[in-house]
Structure 1
Amino acid sequence: MKTYLNMTRRSALGVVAAGIAGVLVSAPASADVSFAGKTIEWIVPFSPGGGSGTMAAFMAPFLTKYLPGNPTVTLVYEPGGGSIKGSNMFAAVAKPDGLTILVTSGSTQFPYLLGDPRVRYEYADWHIAMAGPTGGVVYTSPSTGVTSPDDIGKLVGQKLVYASQGATSLDLVPLMGFRLMGLDVQHVFGFKGRADGRLAFERGETNIDYQTSSAYLKNVQPLVAEGKAIPLFSWGVLDEDGNPIRDPNFPDIPHFAEAYEKLTGKTPSGPEYDAYFAFFTAGFPAQKMVFLPKGTPQEIVDAYQAAFEAMKDDPEFQANAASAVGEYGHVTGKAADALFEKGTVIAPELRKQVVDMLTSEYGVKLGE
Structure 2
Amino acid sequence: MINRHTTVRGLAAAFAATTALAAVPAVAADLSGKTIEYVIPFSESGGSAAWANFYAPLLSDALEGNPTVVVRYRPGAGSTEGANWFQSNQNKDDGTLIFGTSGSTQFPYLLGDPRVRYEYKDWQVVLASGTGGVVYLPPELGEKFDGDFDDLKEEFFLYGSQGATTLDLVPLLAFKMLGLQVDPVFGVEGRGDGRLMFERGEANIDYQTTSAYLSNVQPLVDDGIAVPAFTWGALDDDGNIVRDPTFPDLPSFKEVCEATEGCETEGVAWDAWKAFFVSGFAAQKLVYLPGSASQDLVDTYTAAFDAVKAREDFKEISGETLGVYPQATGAAAQKANEAATTITPEAKQYVLDWLEEAYNVTLD
- Over 3 Å counting, the alpha-carbon distance change for 1:48 and 1:260 in structure 2 is farther
Percent sequence identity is: 52
- Over 3 Å counting, the alpha-carbon distance change for 1:230 and 1:90 in structure 2 is farther
- Over 3 Å counting, the alpha-carbon distance change for 1:63 and 1:48 in structure 2 is same
Greater RCO, CA 8 A, separation 6+? 2
Cα offset, 1:229, TM superposition:
2.8
Cα offset, 1:312, TM superposition:
1.0
For structure 1, the residue ranges without an aligned partner over 5 or more in a row are 1-30
| Larger CA deviation: 40-49 vs 252-261 | 40-49
Distance 1:218 1:184 in 2: 29
Aligned pairs for 1:1-368 within 5 A: 33-93=29-89, 95-142=92-139, 144-147=140-143, 150=146, 153=149, 155-264=152-261, 268-366=265-363
Cα offset, 1:184, TM superposition:
1.4
Superposition CA RMSD, Å: 2.5
- Over 3 Å counting, the alpha-carbon distance change for 1:59 and 1:32 in structure 2 is closer
Cα offset, 1:317, TM superposition:
1.4
Cα offset, 1:114, TM superposition:
1.1
Distance 2:322 2:262 in 1: 33
Distance 1:266 1:361 in 2: 18
Distance 1:165 1:232 in 2: 21
Distance 1:37 1:105 in 2: 29
- Over 3 Å counting, the alpha-carbon distance change for 1:64 and 1:149 in structure 2 is farther
Deviation digits for residues 55-101 of structure 1, max 9, x if unmatched?
A: 22222221121012222323333333332232223323473332232
- Contact in 2 for aligned 1:148/1:230 (Cα 8 Å): no
- Over 3 Å counting, the alpha-carbon distance change for 1:363 and 1:265 in structure 2 is closer
1:16 is matched with which residue?
A: none
Cα offset, 1:50, TM superposition:
3.9
State TM-score, norm by structure 2. Answer: 0.83
- Over 3 Å counting, the alpha-carbon distance change for 1:47 and 1:264 in structure 2 is farther
Cα offset, 1:353, TM superposition:
1.5
Distance 2:300 2:145 in 1: 45
Q: Helix, strand or coil for the counterpart of 1:264? A: coil
Deviation digits for residues 331-350 of structure 1, max 9, x if unmatched?
A: 21111111111111111111
- Contact in 2 for aligned 1:132/1:287 (Cα 8 Å): yes
Distance 1:156 1:205 in 2: 19
Distance 1:82 1:229 in 2: 29
Q: Work out the number of aligned pairs and report it.
A: 336
Q: Helix, strand or coil for the counterpart of 1:241? A: coil
Distance 1:93 1:165 in 2: 29
